[in-house]
Structure 1
Amino acid sequence: MRELRRVASQGIPHAAAPALRPTLWKLLLGYLPSDRALWSSELANKRSQYKHFKDDLLMNPSEITRRIYNSAAHDIDDAKSETRILLSRSQITHEDHPLSLGKTSVWNQFFQDTDLIEQIDRDVKRTHPDIHFFSGDSQLAKSNQDALKNILLIFAKLNPGIRYVQGMNEVLAPLFYVFKNDPDEENAAFAEADTFFCFVELLSGFQDNFCQQLDNSIVGIRSTITRLSQLLKEHDEELWRHLEVTTQVNPQFYAFRWITLLLTQEFNFSDILHIWDIILSDPEGPQHVWGWPLPSAICH
């Protein structure tokens, strides 16, 4: 792994990137074990797990209710269950009713998620509008947008303390783009599942920046911005003085987006992928990137 990190820290050469980057990023993020003999079983397990997440968390409540009752009816009377199409009113419990406000009601949860789903949908449609892979009316773009929405919604449901925060779509996009364009067709076919787990691994290194309750803590975004300002002063005091003394620019105005979006809004997309090779190569995670002279280089 040390040699892989060294290679990645220099940026993967453009010609070799499509073939090398998908596997390298999965290794750097800890999604693939260092022992290649374990790759096949690990990928099969993770991809199966993601399928279960989709079945459990993205299914329409009416389908969930129908499956529950069809299963119960099958146990009682196999013949009748095959002909049952609609549930009678007496069979619908309070928790299964679409107007139920019960905490365990799948319908209540479904309607509570409406705002979340709409926000994710809006943000995904705005993701890299200049790149046909993500944007437009083509079948490819729509399919890719659906994959991004699935990942973000599942992540939000599995992480209720964070949920979805605007900008996560931008952090997700490079991962999905790289994995979906893997020359290995089988890997490309499972890009959505692989991206989900790599997204989780990536955010685990700086997810506190997305948690509003921690904004003012030592692990929150304001503390990170303060450290970045201090590092900028250390590496380039002239630039720091120009920004914070002469022009009195609050670091939050330029640093917040750098940190939370991992520079995805500051460069063209091909350069972002190259920069991410370097960011992901750091064994201490994306937060540690701000310990480099990188902030000064960006400002210049």
Structure 2
Amino acid sequence: MFGKKAGTEELEAFYPIRPECVAEIPKTRFKPRAGKTLSARRWQAAFSETGCLDIAKVLRRIQRGGIHPSIKGLVWEFLLGCYNPNSTLEDRNQLRQQRRERYSMWKTECQNMVSVIGSGNFITTPIITDDGQPIEVEGCRVTSAVSDKKVAQWMLILHQIGLDVVRTDRALAFYEDKANQAKLWDVLSIYSWVDDDIGYVQGMNDICSPMVILLENEADAFWCFERAMRRLVYFYLLQDG
């Protein structure tokens, strides 16, 4: 049950605003509604003993009163299709571990090409020229010319991702920490390597940012973002006919 004072003050505690930006940010219109908002207690009650989720019950409550910020990341994993509501807790734990291992493998692959990935830093200037010649950048050195087309195309967009990361949700205190900016950059950079059909375009940073904020584990944030992109691509293809 939410207290009488539950409202913007409580919600803003989950997404603190930088003091100098408070006046520029409109107050949230969402307020937890007792008996209607999907709370942590209601969320837990929607699971069976084996861990299967009553998704219909969850959706009805979301439609009536939204999702409380404390559980948004957990709920989004189901809403975006990361997990089947009919899966058991054991099934999901196994799948989560497999996905984390796969992400770790991709991250290592990217680190071997660009050492700054996973370092807690990121780049905002090009590291190679258009014809693949290395450019000396502090903290990120490409040792030789890049001839592989896929690798070159990927390296050429990394600094653009960095520039967009710097502009992402700048009013949030979360991104005052450079490590959090680097986490967003890592997820976007690795995604653009793994899915080179899409790669990276401006705006993907804004889609990915909530996942990075809501899901503490970087791999979990990646997979949530990956599922969101699948849905967007599918929707685009439907619209395109």
TM-score by length of 1: 0.47
C-alpha distance 39-118 of structure 1, shift in aligned 2 (>3 A): same
Q: How far apart in 2 are the matches of 1:194 and 1:10?
A: 28
Letter aligned with residue 98 of structure 1: S
Which residue does the alignment assign to 1:288?
none
State the SS of the aligned residue for 2:173: coil
Q: How far apart in 1 are the matches of 2:67 and 2:146?
A: 56
- Pairing of 1:111-150 with structure 2 (within 5 A): 111-134=152-175, 136=176, 141-150=177-186
Aligned partner (choices 80, 88, 96) of residue 29 of structure 1: 80
The answer as to whether partners of 1:120 and 1:149 remain within 8 angstroms in 2 is yes
State the SS of the aligned residue for 1:22: helix
Query: CA deviation digits over 1:8-43, x for unaligned, max 9?
Result: 2234454xx31x222211122221333223222121
Q: How far apart in 2 are the matches of 1:50 and 1:131?
A: 27
Letter aligned with residue 156 of structure 2: D
Query: CA deviation digits over 1:50-90, x for unaligned, max 9?
Result: 1111011232368xxxxxxxxxxxxxxxxxxxxxxxxxxxx
Letter aligned with residue 188 of structure 2: L
Point out which structure has higher relative CO (alpha carbons under 8 A, 6+ apart). 1
TM-score by length of 2: 0.58
State the SS of the aligned residue for 1:206: helix
What value does the CA root-mean-square deviation take over the aligned residues?
A: 2.8
Letter aligned with residue 129 of structure 1: R
Greater Cα radius of gyration, structure 1 or 2: 1
The number of residue pairs the alignment matches comes to 160
Structure 1 stretches of 4+ with a deviation exceeding 6 A read none
Unaligned runs of at least 5 residues, structure 2: 1-54, 116-142
Which residue does the alignment assign to 2:195?
159
Per residue, is there more helix in 1 or in 2?
Answer: 1
Unaligned runs of at least 5 residues, structure 1: 63-96, 180-187, 224-300
Which residue does the alignment assign to 2:228?
202
The answer as to whether partners of 2:154 and 2:192 remain within 8 angstroms in 1 is no
State percent identity of aligned pairs: 25
Aligned partner (choices 88, 93, 97) of residue 40 of structure 1: 93
Q: How far apart in 1 are the matches of 2:96 and 2:207?
A: 22
